[in-house]
Structure 1
Amino acid sequence: MRRERGAPRPDWQRKVREQGLVYDAPGRGEGGVSRPYWDESVHYVFDMDEILSLEADVELLHSMCLEAVDHVVTTERYRDFALPEWCWEDVAKSWKRHDPHVYGRFDLRYDGSGPAKMLEYNADTPTTLLEASILQWYWLKDTHPDDDQWNSLHEQLVERWTRIKDLLPGSEVHFTWSGGDTSGEDHVTVGYLQETAAEAGLDTVGLAIEDLGWDVDLDRFVDLAESPISAVFKLYPWEWILGEDFGKHVVRSLPETLWIEPLWKTLLSNKALLAVLWEMYPGHPNLLPAYLRDPGLLTEYVRKPLLGREGANVDIVAPGTAEVSTGGVYGQEGFVYQLFDPLPQFDGFRPALGAWIVGDTAAGLGIRETVGLVTDDGAAFVPHRIPT
């Protein structure tokens, strides 16, 4: 694994914009200097054996996470995940029904010298999908056409929709985004996923989640044409849904209206999962020690809110390291304490590897890098390649 520099394509801005990158808030470089969010002036290079090792690690971690969900449901440990009590039984039903899931993204620490370490699992509303699937593939074809890339995302997404098509209540899926997202990232991500579903032969409808209606007479969700909705893809966190009155309708309408990602993923997208995994697999080489409520015997740790996003409300406590504390609106739900194992540095930047799962199979890699210890909304996305 190494970081290399290269000249950006002369018309790279036009290319990535035409490929859908309409959200381009600048990242932060050294000294706080702005850098492009999509930064192809640098990229990471991996040997194939490293990628094969990462693939194996990711699929193993995913299987361990599914075992953890089963453990939480069996032992009814929902309180550790700060889930409202009224939905506990429905989370269990969703898991036991095997409500279909599509994709997720592991955030990993990896430096090329040992096994990948799981930092968290974005299993409910992962983004940076377009960048990982489309943008960096075309970058590779334009700049290193003879090289390879860990990237079968598009093909696997189409295959996944094809596989779950018969598990859905109908042939139509409504793809929703939130009108509250002003960046356009959610809309683009949902639009791309809608394209993969259409390619798999599903009928698709796109609309803002705020435009979903509830028909009192039919006792079910309807769209703007007042047609009943049988399946909804959402890029709206389950914890937000469960915290709103709207969420009571969502849960009560299951499984007549199926939601993707499914309700049981409230347990995978919650950082309490990190502590449960460490309890179940103590000392596992792909895990970092993690505990609920207090740091236990850890003297160097990262305190993360159970439901935090984009590096918000994170505290790093480590002797000899300047204390880091980020702002935000999370934390009332509780925290998990994970061993502090800083991301490796390459030319002063710290890459976080985003390894994608589609269905239950490893499907690709996206890399975000930052100069700081916390991968936040100032991170830039950079491509990668595998020499052949």
Structure 2
Amino acid sequence: MRRHEISPRLGWREKVESQGLVFPSTPVDGPDGTTTDVPYWNEAAWYELTMAEVERLEAATDELYGMCLEAAREMLRRYSDADLRLPSGSLALAKASLDRGDPSVYARFDLVTDGVGPAKMLEINGDTPTGLVETAVAQWGWLEDVFPYRDQWNSVHDRLVRWWSDALTAGRYAEGVHFFHSDVDESGEEEMTVTYLRDTAAMAGVRTYGHPIQGLGWDDAEDARRFVDDFGLPVRAAFKLYPWEDMLHEPFGAHVLAGREARPVQWVEPAWKLLLSTKAILPVLWELFPGHPNLLPAYLGEPRGLTQWVAKPLWGREGDNVQVHADDVRQVNDGHYGDQPLVYQQYVPLPDFDGNRVVLGSWVIGGVAAGCLVRESDGPVTDYFSRVVPHVIGDARMPDDAQVQAWLEE
């Protein structure tokens, strides 16, 4: 893997905004009270991967996802609701969802790779991962403009449309799908992500409806007992970019836990995906697969024999409350998760390209590795101020439509 500098396209900001990336820069408050915009979408650089690297990453992602599914079963045996700071009945709900085989559309691993040794799994977000527009739309558009004859590890869009199409063929979502985002998010990231996913469903022929999740209601009539949208229409299937661990603590989650629905909503992502969203999966993976080349040692509650480690809250996001204890780094982040138990994971330095420290987001769509997103940051923790940088497979040419369809059929 190599990093190259390049001149951004003329009008790059307008281009990515027109493609749905509503926040190409991140506002940063300075010590003098002023606010400065720093790049979030950074096309002043690009990363070059080889096809051999991509094939190794793809294989690792597929294997890790299978391991996570196995770990989910073990978590149900090992943990209690209290262990994971969840309300009573949460894990029973997740188990029932997993036993039914409730379908899942996507997940994202955060991996560390230097392009030489095995990629190491930092974590997985299996419930509410973001970065789809950046991956599937913005960086693909950049590739078509800048390197139109080169390839990219990026079948995310095609696989999303195919997933919804296959779901329709299988008889799911015949009454449509409601897509919910939070209107509390001021950045626009959540609405942007949900709108894109809704578009992929519509492309597949799914009837879709879009709403703020704050408009979700409950019809308590004896002959109803169902969730309704802000127009009073029954919600039969719903995608929500809203974490299960938050929803289950709230009144609407209580309806789900208590089994009050006359006809339960088909949730995307399903309830079992909360198991693939907590850092508590990391120590279970290490116990099930000790010494696996794509895993780092991890323990719940204490570092045990680790001398260099990163401590992460069970449900932490965006680097909040992460602690780094290493020979060359001491860092304790503030955040909203300071009261949660910590998972201690072996510290591994991020690849450093002239001060740009890189984490690779590896996407899973419909259970299959589907592409990557490169994020870089100035420090050892990838956080809210990280940058997204496009990538190219340097030794591969753009496939034709027939080849793409063949890959989707595999």
1:293 and 2:293 aligned: no
CA distance in 1, matches of 2:128, 2:338: 19
Is 1:35 equivalent to 2:38 in the alignment?
yes
Question: Any unmatched runs of 5+ in structure 2?
Answer: 29-34, 397-410
Q: 1:322 corresponds to which residue?
A: 329
1:209-241: CA deviation from partner (whole Å, max 9, x where unpaired): 110110111100111221111011000111110
**Residue equivalent to 2:282:** 274
Task: Specify the alignment match of 1:61 in structure 2.
Answer: 64
Give the residue type in structure 1 aligned to 2:368: T
1:132-151 equivalences in 2 (<5 Å): 132-151=135-154
Q: Is 1:200 equivalent to 2:204 in the alignment?
A: yes
Counterparts in 2 of 1:1-388, with a 5 A limit? Answer: 1-26=1-26, 35-75=38-78, 77-165=80-168, 166=170, 168=172, 170-217=174-221, 218-251=224-257, 252=259, 253=261, 256-319=264-327, 321-387=328-394, 388=396
Note if contact 1:169-1:256 (Cα within 8 Å) is conserved in structure 2.
no
C-alpha offsets along residues 168-212 of structure 1, whole Å, 9 cap, x if unaligned?
Answer: 364310000001111111001000000000111110000001101
* Paired residue secondary structure (1:16): helix
How far is the alpha carbon of 1:79 from its aligned partner?
Answer: 4.3
| Matched residue SS, 2:277 | coil
SS at match of 2:93: helix
* Distance of 1:33 and 1:298 partners within structure 2: 39
- Distance in 1, matches of 2:92 and 2:361, equals 32
Q: What is the identity, as a one-letter code, of the residue corresponding to 1:383?
A: P
Shift in Å, 1:12: 0.6
Structure 1 residues 280 and 80, CA gap change in structure 2 (3 angstroms)? farther
Mapped to 2, the partners of 1:313 and 1:333 lie a distance apart of 9
Distance 2:331 2:16 in 1: 34
Cα distance change, pair 128–378 in 1 and its aligned pair in 2 (3 A): same
Q: What's the CA shift for 1:25?
A: 3.7
Deviation at 1:33, TM superposition (A): 8.6
User: Given that residues 222 and 229 in structure 1 are in contact (C-alpha distance below 8 angstroms), is that contact kept between their aligned partners in structure 2?
Assistant: yes
Is the 1:307–1:331 contact (alpha carbons within 8 Å) kept by the matching residues of 2?
Answer: no
The offset of 1:7, in angstroms, is 0.8
State the secondary structure of the residue aligned to 1:298: coil
Asked if the contact 2:218–2:252 (Cα under 8 Å) also holds between the matched residues in 1, the reply is no
Distance apart, 1:65 and its partner CA: 0.1
Q: Deviations over 1:251-285 (max 9, x none)?
A: 43396211110101111000000010001000000
By how many angstroms is 1:88 displaced?
A: 2.4
Q: Which runs of 5 or more residues in structure 1 are unaligned?
A: none
Q: Could you tell me how far 1:363 is from its partner in structure 2?
A: 0.6
Q: Deviations over 1:91-137 (max 9, x none)?
A: 11111011111001100001111111000001110001100000000
The letter of the residue matching 1:280 is L
For residue 275 of structure 2, what is the amino acid of its counterpart? L
Contact 1:313 1:325 in 2 (8 A): yes
Distance in 2 between residues matched to 1:254 and 1:209, nearest whole Å: 21
The one-letter code of the counterpart of 1:209 is I
Answer with 196-205 or 81-90: which moved more: 81-90
CA distance in 2, matches of 1:196, 1:49: 30
Task: Kindly state the Cα deviation for residue 34 of structure 1 after the two structures are TM-superposed.
Answer: 5.7
Using the TM superposition, name which of 112-121 and 33-42 deviates more. 33-42
Instruction: Please give the root-mean-square deviation of Cα atoms over the aligned residues, in Å.
Output: 1.7
User: 2:408 maps to which residue?
Assistant: none
Task: Tell me the TM-score normalized by structure 1.
Answer: 0.95
For residue 250 of structure 1, report the CA deviation from its aligned partner: 3.2
Q: SS at the partner of 1:207? A: strand
Tell whether the 8 Å contact from 1:169 to 1:257 is kept in structure 2 after alignment: no
**SS of equivalent to 2:218:** strand
- Once the two structures are TM-superposed, the CA of residue 27 in structure 1 deviates from its matched residue by 7.5
Secondary structure of the residue that 2:123 maps to in structure 1?
strand
Number of aligned residues: 384
The residue type paired with residue 171 of structure 1 is: E
Aligned-residue sequence identity (percent) comes to 48
- Aligned-partner residue type, residue 92 of structure 1: K
Q: CA distance change for structure 1 residues 191 and 33 in 2, over 3 Å: closer, same or farther?
A: closer
AA matched with 1:363: A
Structure 1, 113-122 or 219-228: larger mean CA deviation: 219-228
8 A Cα contact 2:173 2:206, kept in partner: no
TM-score by length of 2: 0.90
Q: Comparing 79-88 with 372-381, which one deviates more in the overlay?
A: 79-88
Native 8 Å contact 1:109 1:116 kept in 2: yes
Using the alignment, how far apart are the partners of 2:211 and 2:36 within structure 1?
37
Letter in 2 for 1:228: P
Conserved 8 A contact 2:75-2:281: no
Letter of the 1:371 partner, please give it.
Answer: D
Cα distance in 1 for residues equivalent to 2:37 and 2:250: 37
What is the rounded CA distance, in whole Å, between the counterparts of 1:171 and 1:290 in structure 2? 43
Residues in 2 aligned to 1:155 and 1:24: alpha-carbon distance in whole angstroms: 24
